[in-house]
Structure formats: C-alpha cells, structure tokens
Amino acid sequence: MVQFLRFDGSILEDSKFTIIAGKESVKFFLKQIGYLILFVYSALFIAVAIPFVKTPSIPIYFIGGFAAALFLVRFVNNSVKYIRFRGGSILVTAESVTVEDKSGAKRIPVADISYLEKNLLGNLLIRQKYDKLSFPLALLPDQERASLVSLFQDMAPRRTLIYKKIWDFVDAIVVALVLAVHIIQYAIQAYYIPTGSMEDTLKVGDHLFVEKITYGPIIPEMMFMKKPLHLWFLGIRNIRRGDIVIFRPPHDEDKDYIKRCIAVPGDDFTIKNGRVYINGKAMEEPYVKGATRTFNFVPDKSNEIQGIVPPGKVVVMGDNRENSQDSRYFGYLDIYRIKGKAFFLYWNTSQILHFDFSRFGLIR
C-alpha cells in the first residue's frame, strides 16, 4: 500500500532499526517463496475450477498473473536489497536519517528531506530536494517496520485509511473465493436437477449436495496438464455399482451430468432383453423406469460398451432408461471425469410448497 510520510518534529529519542539476519532472514524468504507459489497456483486453479463461469477463465488468468508478477517483482526487489543491505540499518533522530548498507553509511539532514514514501515494493523512499534514497522497509521485522513508520506523520491519513479498507476488503474477498473454490472442488457442492433422466430417484427441480471426498480429490486440468489428476489413494473407497455420481461427459465439456454407476472396471457388462447383465447375472434394479435398450440414440460403434469394462473406466446410466443420454451414447466414462457422489437431497420447490418432505434426506 502506498503511503506518504513526513517528519512532524515530535521525535524525542534516537531510533535504530536493523535488517533481518540469520534464521529470521531464511524464514522471511521461505515465506516469500511460499506466497509466490500460492499466488501462481491459486490463479491457475481458480481459472479452471471456478463455478458458474466458462473455464478456463481468461480474466482470472490475467488478474492472477498480474498479482503473481507484482509479487515476483517484489520478491526480486527484496532479494537484491538484502544482498546490498545485509547487516545494514536505518537510524532516525530529530536532526537526520542515516541509512547504512554494505558500502557505508549516508546521513541525510531533516532539512534536506522533502518527504518519505512507502511504496508497493516494500521500500521506504527518502525523497530529497535533488536526490532520493531507498531503504528496504520489508526487510525489517514486522514490529520494527510498524514502529519505523509510526515515527513519521501521514501526509494523507484519510487516503491511507481508504486504501487500507479497500485492501482489507479485496484481501477478504480473494481469500474467501480461494477457500470457497477449494471447498467446492474437493469437499462439497450444491447441484440442481434440470432434466428427468434420473426419475423417479431424482426429479426435475431437486436440489442436492454432492460430496467429493469418497473417491479422492481430483485436481482439475490446469495449465501444463494434459488431463485432470485423480488422487484415488486419498479417497475413502473406490466407486461402486449403484453410486449416483456427478461427472463431465466426454462429448459435452461444458455441462455436468448425473447418472448411476452400473458397471465398474473388470465387470463383464451386457444389455439384453431389456435388462442389464453383470458377469452373466441379471441385475436387480428397482430404481429403473422403463426398459433398458442397447442405445437410446443413433449408435456410434466406437462407443460400444458391451463386454469387459476397461481399467479406469465405468458404465453410467440414468434411472429413467428411456430418457437418458448416458454411456449407451458416449461410451465408457473415465473415472477422473467424476466430480463426486450425490448424497443428500435438501430441496424441491414444488414439494416444499405442498409441505411434502418425504423424499428429502440421503440419496440411495
């Protein structure tokens, strides 16, 4: 945050502030590197994982890239300044300011100082009539940094207060956004059912929660990645037959679908006589509405799903078998495309209006 300062003539005793060193400097730069990595990761992550926005989001790439670039410039500035000012200090008295670095000490009389400027790079610029001197304010311990600034009078306290409020607001919004997107991506997300493909288990207008912990987190396809990364070993269990899952199908990358898992890797899957057979045995499917046909749409032989389900893939179908665009249309579904498992129905407007709560609760 930019702040303009000046001497107010109230300095009663000399104050000396020394640049961080040893373990404190190591901790400072490790923290800076951590923040830089966090900036870059957050920009790449939010751009591809933010909900209700077409991803990847170019504006978020731009904003995140600008913030990361600014922080990188600040990190480089602090590194260069540390090399120059290592072991250095700043001494403030009622008559002068003395800045010491590796080349020696320079004393600036108060009469020669026009004003002081705290800039975005973390430097304290001492503006003189015909010169200027930069001191790395960011390389002081936090408490000493605040103490040094408090020695001077703010030339525009109202503007500084406004800047601080804006910064605090933006900081809170960004932190909340990053946390919210991570929760939605890795923990829980609300969904709305717009079609009847899962009737009568799920109906049009149903609102439900989908949890994303059971199968393990899926890192979205960020820049420089070829596909999403499924960390299955961090999950509670593998996907099972009968699980109702949310996923992004291969033929429609902009929409989420909800279907039931019918066959898992290694299953011998067949459809005949209007029923599903797994490993030669007809499945009991009390949730099914209508007959199960081989294809509901014009068949694409490259998407044939009869036979052994390959590793890393599953077969998914809607419960409303005569009105569902599912694996019979787009083929096997890659497990890494699954976002989570439907587990709780919490709202349906038409039922709420009739005080009907019979369907609300865990989804099975």
Active-site choice (81, 118, 259, 313): 259
Q: How many CA atoms lie within 13 A of 220 on its CB side?
A: 25
Three-state secondary structure call for residue 212: coil
| Residue keyed to tokens 């404190």 | 24
User: In angstroms, how far is CA 359 from the centroid of its own chain?
Assistant: 34
Angle between helices 157-186 and 23-49 (to 10 degrees): 60
**Cβ pair 208, 346 in contact under 8 A:** yes
CA gyration radius, the chain: 31
Reduce the DSSP state of residue 152 to 3 states and report it: coil
| DSSP code of residue 310 | P
User: Tokens representing 6?
Assistant: 């000046």
Strand, coil or helix: what is 258? strand
Q: For residue 108, what are its two tokens?
A: 């600036």
Residue of 191, 103, 142 whose CA lies nearest to 17 = 142
CA 90 to chain centre: 40
Point out the catalytic residue in the list 42, 81, 197, 313.
Answer: 197
Catalytic annotation present for 118: no
Which runs of E-coded beta strand occur in 75-123? 89-92, 96-101, 104-109, 113-118
Q: For residues 11 and 24, what is the distance between their CA atoms, to the nearest angstrom? A: 29
Please state whether beta strands 89-92 and 15-18 pair in parallel, antiparallel, or not at all (unpaired).
antiparallel
CB atoms within 10 A of CB 268: 14
CB 212 within 8 A of CB 189: yes
Whether 197 sits among the annotated catalytic residues: the reply is yes
Dihedral sign from CA coordinates of 73, 78, 83, 85: positive
Active site residues: 197, 259
